[in-house]
Amino acid sequence: MTHTPRIYFDNAATTPLDADVLEAMMPYFTTYFGNPSSIYSYGRETRLAIENARKSVAKNLNAHPAEIFFTSGGTESSNMAINAAIDDLHCTHIITSPIEHHATLHTVEHLQQSGKAAVSYVQLLPNGHINLQHLEELLANSNERTLVSLMHANNEVGNLLDIQAVGNLCKKYNAFFHCDTVQTVGHFPFDLRNTPVHFITGAAHKFHGPKGVGIIYINENIKIKPYINGGSQERNMRAGTENVYGIVGFAKALENAMQRFEEDSHYISELKRYMAERLRQEIEGITFNGDPFGNSLYTVLNVSFPKTEKSEMLLYSLDMHHICVSGGSACTSGTNMGSHVIEAIYKNVDRVAIRFSFSKNNTKDEIDTVVQTLKELV
């Protein structure tokens, strides 16, 4: 039996680990196994590895090392930021959007249900971008301490937020700003010293690093308490023995991503453009969701297919052809819930949305195969 190679177009869900990232991690699985909190040499070696990783991450984001804390991933980081804004910064009002990742939405809903914060949802423009005018109205009319939580790039449709503009609005109205940057850390250059933001988040597995490790950036001007209590790890900000090999892997993957940014982003943008062109040529009645050729993440292309019996089964049919894609977001795949993002932007639209997301490992040949398969299936 010949093995059919898989075509993986779900890189916004997770990415394969780079070989040299694994190589950088390996010694910490074996030789350097000490607990970083121990005072003898075994512990000092791993402590040093963590602090070097922190410096490297800070340098690549143009932040101060004291502003970078390692976590278990984007979900924990967003939970930590949003809860800290309520508990430690005394915000009683949260402004967010209906198209945030569930790590943000469910956290905000929980705080609202437990009576800790009032929540306002900023309106969307027809193409899914945040209505900045409405955001300013909400901020201007808020008499309480406010947290604005808006994502930098939407994980389903790829729309990009103007992080400077939102940060400046927050500054103007003395609000705190949490930006879920899980889809953009490792995919865009950041200059945090010159970005008006209080919290950002990152996850290594979105840019060819390991799963289970992330960061939270906490601007040095704000003081919050730990979200997880226990020992004094992460400079008293996150208790629990550090995920040493994960942290080393995060730093190496981010270093790679930033060194190769020009080359990779150009290559992946080309793939996205090529796929859009081929789909337009070959399949009638498709539309693209969000603002894919405007202010958009170069890795994501979200496509709607006219609803038919065949198209409703598209995800399963593609899977049978060894093609990995997702319907909207990976977090809801496998259920027929549909996508809360597509629903929020397009309201009851009767179409089947599929997200194709690319990495530096994909090729135009793979796109040709996928388009041909789609043509046959639709």
What does the block give as tokens for 68? Answer: 């970078």
Count of CB atoms situated within 10 Å of the CB of 75: 21
Contact 354, 325 (CB under 8 A): yes
Comparing CA positions, the residue from 313, 305, 309 lying closest to residue 351 is: 305
Strands 214-218, 199-203: parallel, antiparallel or unpaired by DSSP? antiparallel
Terminal Cα distance for the chain, rounded: 28
Q: Where are the beta strands (DSSP E) in the chain?
A: 7-8, 68-71, 93-96, 118-121, 146-149, 176-179, 199-203, 214-218, 287-288, 300-306, 323-324, 351-357
Of 91, 170, 179, 331, which is the active-site residue? Answer: 331
For residue 204, give the H/E element and its range: none
Strands 300-306, 287-288: parallel, antiparallel or unpaired by DSSP? antiparallel
Is 43 strand, coil or helix?
Answer: helix
Active site residue 179: no
Residue 149, strand partner residues: 178
Residues 6+ apart with CB under 8 A from 320: none
Is 175 strand, coil or helix?
Answer: coil
What does the block give as tokens for 274? Answer: 């090529």
Q: How far is CA 52 from CA 2, 48, 118, 190, 294, in A?
A: 45, 6, 41, 19, 38
At residue 177, φ and ψ (nearest 5 deg) are: -125, 115
User: Interhelix angle for 261-282 vs 244-259, to 10°?
Assistant: 80
Contact 34, 241 (CB under 8 A): no
CA distance 239 to 119: 30
Residue 325 DSSP label = -
Give the residue numbers annotated as catalytic, written as ranges.
331
